[in-house]
Structure 1
Amino acid sequence: MKVTVAMTLLSAGLMTLPVAAEQFYGFMDLSINYLDWTKKAEDRTNPDIGGRGGAKEDFFYIELEGGAGFDWGDVYGFIDFENPTNSNDGQFSDEAFATDGFRIAAKGTLAYNLGSSNWNAYGHLYSFTESSSGFFDQNLVLGVSYDVFTDFGLWFKPFIGGHYEQQSFAGSGWNGGMLGWVLGYDFAIGEQKFSVTNWHETEFARDDQFRSNGTQYQLASVGWNGAVALWWHLPNNLTGGLQYRYADNKLGTAAYHDAIIYSLRYNF
C-alpha cells in the first residue's frame, strides 16, 4: 500500500514555527464514527441496477484530528482509519475493491498570514489509500484563503487554489481548481453547549484524465462534497456529533449521494 503523506503538511508547518510565535488556540481529539449511506446513495452506486459508480457500503472509522492557530497562521490535520479491523491477503487479492476493505484517509492544511491582512497563503494535501487493490489518490491544492471571525461565535475560512492530483489509475497532473470553505458557529441552549460546522469543497474545470470512475458513466467537470454537522459538547471531554455527508460527482460516483455519520469524540 502506498504510504499516506497528508499529515506531513501539518508537521512541516509545526516545525517551521517562529521561536517566539504566539499561540491563540489548539485542539486534538480522537473519535469513533459510523457512516450510514442512505438507501438512495446505495441504489445510485449499485452496479447491479445501473449504479453510476463503485458500490458503497456502510462502515465505521477511527479518526485522530488536531489543529492550532498562531500569530503567523494556522495548521490543521486528520487521519482516518476506515474498517480498521479488516484486512486482506495482499494487493489485488480476491477481495480487491471490497466495499469493506481497510482504507486510510488523511489531510493536512496550512494557512500562512499575508502581512497584517486576513488573507493567507493556503495549501492542503489530501491522501486516500485502499489496501486490497493498492488504489491511492492524492490531491494537492495551492492558493489563498481568507479568515473571518466574529464576536458572536461565527467563524468562516474560504479558500481557492489550483488542484494537482496523483492517482494510481489516472496518473498525475493539474486537474483544474478547487474552492471551498470551513465554517463554524458556537452557541448554547441553557447550560448545554453546541456547535454547527460545515466543510465544503468544489472541484471545477476538471481534466478528462481524472473523470473516469471505472463505469460507463464519466464524472462531470464540476463536482463537490462536504458535510454539515451538529456537535453537542458533553461533560468529561466528550462530544457527540451528527453529520450529514454529501457528494455530487465525487467519491467515484457520477451522481448525488449522501450519508449520515454518527460520531463520539474524546477531546484531549
Structure 2
Amino acid sequence: MNKKLQSGIAALALSISFSSNAAMLAVETGLMDWRSSASDYFGESKNNNPYIKMIGAHGTALGDIYGHVTLENFDNTDIYGTEINLVGQINIGETDFNLYGQVFDKSMPVWGETNTLLGLSWDKNYDNTYVQLAFAAHIVNATYKAFDSNFDEQGFNGGYAYLNISHDLSLFDQDFKFVWWQEFYFGRNEQYLELAGDMEDFGFNGQLRANWIINNNWSVGVSYRYAENNLGKKGYHDAFFYSVQYKF
C-alpha cells in the first residue's frame, strides 16, 4: 500500500473519530461504464472499470468534514489507481458561510496530481434539500511520467467553483436520494493544460446520481458522470456508474 493511500485512510478514519454524533461511514463498490467518448481516447483506463470506495463524514457546531478513499481498476495492476479526497468547512459565526478547504489526490502508474483548494463556501438545508456553493483558489502539484520524469507543474492554477444540490424523496413508501454536483475550473496554467490534456482554459466535471435507499444500511445507485475540457481530455466525455453501498 503506497504512502498516499495510507495517509488518506488514516485521515479519513481520524475525521470520523472525533465523535459518534453526526458521523457517517460507508463502503461502496461498483462499475464505471465509460462511453465511447472516453474509451476511444483513453483505452482500457476508461472503459469498464471496477472500483471500491470508503466514505466518511462528520459534522459539529463548528463545521464539517467529508472524505473518501477510492481504489480503481484493482483487477489490473497496469492501470491501478487511487483517489483521495478530503473536504472541510469551518463555520463563520452564525452565518451560512464557511472557510473552505479541499485536498484531492489522484494517482495512476504514470501520472499523479495533488490539488489543494482554499476559499469560501456557503451551504444551507431547506427541509429535504441541501445546497452548497464554494469558490476557491486552486494550487496543483502534478507529475506526468508518461512525458518525462522532469515534466511537471506546480503552483497556482487559477480558480475553482463548486455547486452541490441534494434532495431526499419518498415515493411509494420507498426512500430515494438525488444528487447533482459540478466543479468548474478557470484561469488555468497553459503548461498544466498541455500536461493534463484538458487543453482549454475553462473546464468542468460533474455527476448526476440517483440512490434507492433500501434500508438503514443498504442502497443502490446509478450515476451519470461527465466532463468538458477536464479529467484529461479536451471536449466532452461521459460514463454511467453503477454502485452498491453499505452504511455502517
- 3-state DSSP class of the match of 2:209? strand
**Scaled by the length of structure 2, what TM-score is found?**
0.88
Match of 1:154 in 2: 129
1:137 to 113, 131, 154: 113
Q: Given the alignment of the two structures, is residue 211 of structure 1 paired with residue 176 of structure 2, yes or no?
A: no
Match of 1:224 in 2: 204
Instruction: From the superposition, tell whether residues 113 and 11 of structure 1 become closer, same or farther in structure 2 (CA, over 3 Å).
Output: farther
**Scaled by the length of structure 1, what TM-score is found?**
0.82
Q: Given the alignment of the two structures, is residue 167 of structure 1 paired with residue 167 of structure 2, yes or no?
A: no
RMSD of the alignment, in Å? 2.4
> Which one-letter code corresponds to 2:126 in the other structure?
T
Instruction: From the superposition, tell whether residues 144 and 189 of structure 1 become closer, same or farther in structure 2 (CA, over 3 Å).
Output: same
The structure with the greater share of residues assigned to helix is 2
> Which one-letter code corresponds to 2:185 in the other structure?
E
Tell me the alpha carbon deviations over residues 4-29 of structure 1, each in whole angstroms, 9 at most, x when there is no partner.
Answer: 455676567668x6xxx894x22111
- 3-state DSSP class of the match of 1:232? strand
2:166 to 184, 188, 195: 184
Match of 1:109 in 2: 87
Q: Given the alignment of the two structures, is residue 71 of structure 1 paired with residue 61 of structure 2, yes or no?
A: yes
Larger relative contact order (CA 8 Å, sep ≥ 6): 1
Match of 2:26 in 1: 29
Q: Which runs of 5+ in 2 are unaligned?
A: 145-151
Please state how far the C-alpha of 1:181 moved relative to its aligned partner.
2.1
- Counterparts of 2:214 and 2:199, CA distance in 1: 41
Match of 2:245 in 1: 265
Asked whether the 8 Å contact 2:27–2:54 carries over to 1, the reply is yes
Please state how far the C-alpha of 1:126 moved relative to its aligned partner.
0.3
> Which one-letter code corresponds to 1:31 in the other structure?
E
> Which one-letter code corresponds to 1:83 in the other structure?
N
1:8-87 matches, cutoff 5 A: 23=21, 25-43=22-40, 45=41, 56-87=46-77
Asked whether the 8 Å contact 2:16–2:23 carries over to 1, the reply is no
Instruction: From the superposition, tell whether residues 214 and 111 of structure 1 become closer, same or farther in structure 2 (CA, over 3 Å).
Output: closer
Instruction: From the superposition, tell whether residues 55 and 265 of structure 1 become closer, same or farther in structure 2 (CA, over 3 Å).
Output: closer
- Counterparts of 2:28 and 2:45, CA distance in 1: 26
Please state how far the C-alpha of 1:171 moved relative to its aligned partner.
2.2
- 3-state DSSP class of the match of 1:209? helix
Match of 1:243 in 2: 223
Match of 1:91 in 2: none
Aligned residue pair count: 239
- Counterparts of 1:240 and 1:27, CA distance in 2: 17
Asked whether the 8 Å contact 2:35–2:47 carries over to 1, the reply is no
Sequence identity (%): 27
- Counterparts of 2:30 and 2:169, CA distance in 1: 23
- 3-state DSSP class of the match of 1:42? helix
> Which one-letter code corresponds to 1:77 in the other structure?
G
Please state how far the C-alpha of 1:182 moved relative to its aligned partner.
2.1
Instruction: From the superposition, tell whether residues 121 and 214 of structure 1 become closer, same or farther in structure 2 (CA, over 3 Å).
Output: closer
Larger radius of gyration: 1
- Counterparts of 2:27 and 2:20, CA distance in 1: 25
Q: Which runs of 5+ in 1 are unaligned?
A: 48-53, 89-100
Q: Given the alignment of the two structures, is residue 120 of structure 1 paired with residue 98 of structure 2, yes or no?
A: yes
- Counterparts of 1:124 and 1:9, CA distance in 2: 13
Match of 1:98 in 2: none
- 3-state DSSP class of the match of 1:157? strand
- Counterparts of 1:33 and 1:81, CA distance in 2: 11
